[in-house]
Amino acid sequence: MSAFNTDKIRNVVLVGHAGCGKTTLTEAMLYEAKAIGRRGSVNEGNTQSDYTTLEQQRGHSLFTSLLHCTWKDTKINILDTPGLDDFSGEVVTSLKVADTAIVMLNARSGVEVGTELVWEYVDKFDTPTIFVINQLDHEKADFENTLEQAKQRFGNRVLPMQFPVNQGPDFNAIVDALRMVMYVFPAGGGKPEKKDIPAEFKARADEMHNALVEAAAENDEGLMDKFFESGTLDEAELAKGLSIGLAHHQFFPVFCVSALKDMGSGRLMGFIHDVCPSPADRPAAELEGGGKKPCDANARTCVFIYKTVNEPKVGNVSYFKVYSGVLKTGDELVNADNGSVERFSALYESEGKNRDQVQELRAGDIGCTVKLKGSHTNQTLNPKGSETRIERIHFPGPRIRMAVSPPSKAEVEKMANALHSIQEEDPTLLVEQSLELKQTIIQGQGEMHLDVVRIKAEQNFGVHLQFEEPRLPYRETITKVANHMYRHKKQSGGAGQFAEVHMRIEPYYEGMPAPQGLTVKNIEVEDLKWGGKFAFCWAIVGGSIDARFINAIKKGIMAKLEEGPLTGSYCRDIRVSIFDGKMHPVDSNDMAFQIASTMAFKEAFPMSAPQIMEPIYDLEVMCDAEVMGAVMGDLQSRRSIIMGMDSEGHYQVIRARVPLKELHKYSSALRSVTQGKAKFHLDFAEYAPVPGDLQAKLAAEYAATAKHEEH
């Protein structure tokens, strides 16, 4: 097969709430285009896109699949994405390379919260959008309600192209207001019979047709003149005007389908061919550091890797979009991010798990290759001498964190290698070896997301990951002033160690006056890498401690700031003043003063009304009004402070401040109390004092652990 020119390529991505029928529609589209001879079923686990064992076991998409077909003279690349919020990173990567988004709506449920979530990404990418109302054959299907919800949420740019006849179990016909015809389908679906629109539906079809004509005319001055002259536009003129409106996000057509019965998918394919933009019709790609890259097959080759998958027995499979030029088998390109030289020994068009080898792919096309040595997701490759870098994909932040460990210490390195490989494949997974918490922390989009990571590690790398609730990054500070001294004296034959340090510790705040009653020689205020500040005052008068020991004394205090006395957490917002002490002409040295300052600080800390601080997060929950009470009740049980409530469309927005300790597995809890009709977003807000009873419990637990480790 010869490569397709840029203007004969359409890249579409199917997005929507879980269960809306994206994978089933993909099967129908491939079948209509004769890319497959038989439609697969999600229930039977034999679809082209949900081809992994894990997806077949779970019965829904977990990863984005790339598929393709030919419609007339045009190649259509189809990206079938997961609908679960836990895998929103897959949606973002697909929208990066798609030129049209097909937003699926469930005729039973209307605009669901998952649709709201993906719409944020669609809107951010400014992707031309088609709405498809699916499952019109269901007994509870309600096209009118779903359409009305879409208009309320997405505005008057939502214009129906079609409406169903006999929706419900007897659904078999669609009135098309663009072509002004009624499609009547046989019982098994497939190719419909074209009929005149019945008189009872003619008025509505005329009204919808006129709205489409006006929308088309608005986008082209010549079409507007023609419209004023004749009052209408022919089909070619309509297609031109609607194409312009679609490309500029000014018009969102609505189609009707029953993906399960293959009714309406062929008409959708025709619209994609006739009206949807090619890659050349889309705005030039943004570049890192500014500038743009037009999609031009005559320019130098530029390839962007949007997804990497590690397949057993194959290795890394790199999915990419050719942003400009022509990529040919055997080409060598240079990674603009790390300088790695990559040879494309084979190029493939993807059909889910199957891959067809091709000799070249032109600007705008999407394909894959295998065994690139040093190139991964979010990286750009160019010919030697070019350093063009396509703007990187910005992934959503994590919403769940867990500590992870292998069954034995012998498998620590094996676990690290597995997590590193999975993270290269999935940038929404964050892995951190926390020195502060002394744990390996992984963060992801939700509990199901991390469950998939666990299964991948087991199946692909033979590592059995153990998850547990992670320790929390508490902070320690003080609330009162205390003076204390400590003498370090050690004599064991020969030279000994001697140092005596007198210090004052007090809470630090910005702009506080100098220490009262002390003659301060020097004040240093330091921004701590873990947040907060540390102020160090040298107030020695008369040379009781030589100035050469300043750094050793400060170093001893800093060592204890990194391991607070109450919970072993970092300390912050403390001022320490050294105002007196003693030294010995022979036995005093840096080590002695370092030990003395450490012990003085450690013993002074409990005398200063110490306070444990916990991380507090700003939480925003968007939910249906019907589950708002359940969400509020759950938040009240989590020591949260409700900051405000608002409405956005037909959703309620709750804003609260919640301790991180109370947010463990919150994504699962929210899904449970709302039946999946909610989403949330987290941002770090501040550190705040923990309640007294919790502080006592935390300090006791730390003391018991420390005592156990001593023995």
User: Which tokens in the block code for residue 703?
Assistant: 């003391």
Do 257 and 239 meet the contact criterion of CB atoms below 8 Å apart?
no
pLDDT at 567 over 60: yes
Highest mean pLDDT among 215-219, 230-234, 554-558, 704-708: 554-558
Closest CA to 263 of 138, 369, 362: 138
203-235: pLDDT as tens digits? 999 999 989 888 888 877 777 767 666 767 777
Residue 675's pLDDT is what?
A: 80
The owner of tokens 């070249």 is 360
Reply yes or no on whether the pLDDT at 140 is more than 80. Answer: yes
On average, the pLDDT of the chain sits at 92
Q: 708: pLDDT confidence band, cut at 50, 70 and 90?
A: low
Residue with tokens 């790398």: 461
Among 464-473, 603-612, 621-630, the minimum mean pLDDT is found in 621-630
Half-sphere exposure of 710 (CA within 13 A, CB side): 6
Instruction: Write the pLDDT tens digit of every residue in 661-694.
Output: 999 989 889 988 988 778 888 899 999 999 999 9
Task: Give the up-direction half-sphere exposure of residue 188: CA atoms within 13 A in the CB hemisphere.
Answer: 1
pLDDT of amino acid 399: 87
The position carrying tokens 């509990």 is 447
Grouping H, G, I as helix, E, B as strand and the rest as coil, residue 8 is helix
Segment (H or E) for 320: strand 315-324
- The DSSP annotation for 694-706 comes to HHHHHHHHHHHHH
pLDDT at site 709:
62
Task: Provide the β-strand partners of residue 687.
Answer: 615
Report yes or no: 579 and 540 within 8 Å, Cβ to Cβ: yes
Rg (alpha carbons) of the chain, rounded to whole number: 32
Residue length, the chain? 711
Q: Is a pLDDT exceeding 70 seen at residue 711? A: no
Number of other CB atoms surrounding residue 71 within 10 Å: 19
The two three-digit tokens of residue 44, written as one number: 């039977």
Higher pLDDT, 279 or 241: 279
The model's pLDDT over 574-608, given as tens digits with 9 standing for 90+, comes to 999 999 999 999 899 999 999 999 999 999 999 99
User: Does the pLDDT value for residue 18 go beyond 60?
Assistant: yes
How far apart are alpha carbons 678 and 673 in whole angstroms? 9
User: In this predicted structure, what is the pLDDT of residue 493?
Assistant: 64
**What pLDDT band is residue 543 in, cutting at 50, 70 and 90?**
confident
Residues 186-194 have a mean pLDDT of 91
pLDDT band at 626 (very low <50, low <70, confident <90, very high): confident
Calculate what percentage of the chain has a pLDDT beyond 90.
Answer: 76
Write down all domains in the chain, each with its CATH number in brackets: 8-212+249-281 (3.40.50.300), 285-382 (2.40.30.10), 400-468 (3.30.70.870), 476-608 (3.30.230.10), 612-693 (3.30.70.240)
d(CA 612, CA 476): 5
Q: Please give the backbone phi and psi of residue 393, each rounded to the nearest 5 degrees, phi first.
A: -75, 130
pLDDT in tens, 47-103: 999 888 888 888 888 899 999 999 999 999 999 999 988 899 999 999 999 999 999
Instruction: Please report the pLDDT score of residue 124 as a whole number.
Output: 92
CA nearest neighbour of 667 among 631, 640, 629, 626: 631
Model confidence over 299-357: pLDDT tens digits? 999 999 999 998 878 888 999 999 999 999 999 999 999 999 999 999 999 998 889 99
**Position 439, amino acid:** Q
Measured at the alpha carbon of residue 367, what is the angle toward residues 365 and 368, in degrees to the nearest 5? 155
- Closest-CA residue to 152 (of 100, 194, 105, 217): 105
Read off the pLDDT of each residue in 174-179 and give the average, rounded to a whole number. 95
Question: Mean pLDDT across the stretch 32-46?
Answer: 92
CB atoms within 10 A of CB 441: 19
Please check the confidence at residue 535 and state whether its pLDDT lies above 60.
yes
Task: Output phi, psi for 426, to 5 deg.
Answer: -130, 90
What number of other Cβ atoms are within 10 A of residue 497's Cβ? 18
The β-bridge partners of 674 are none
> In this structure, what token pair is assigned to residue 622?
């968007």
Structure tokens at 421: 């490989």
The DSSP-derived string for 57-112 is: HHTS--S-EEEEEEETTEEEEEEE---SGGGHHHHHHHHHH-SEEEEEEETTTBS-
pLDDT single digits (tens) 385-422: 999 999 999 999 888 999 999 988 889 999 999 999 89
Question: Three-state DSSP class for 535?
Answer: strand
pTM of the full structure: 0.86
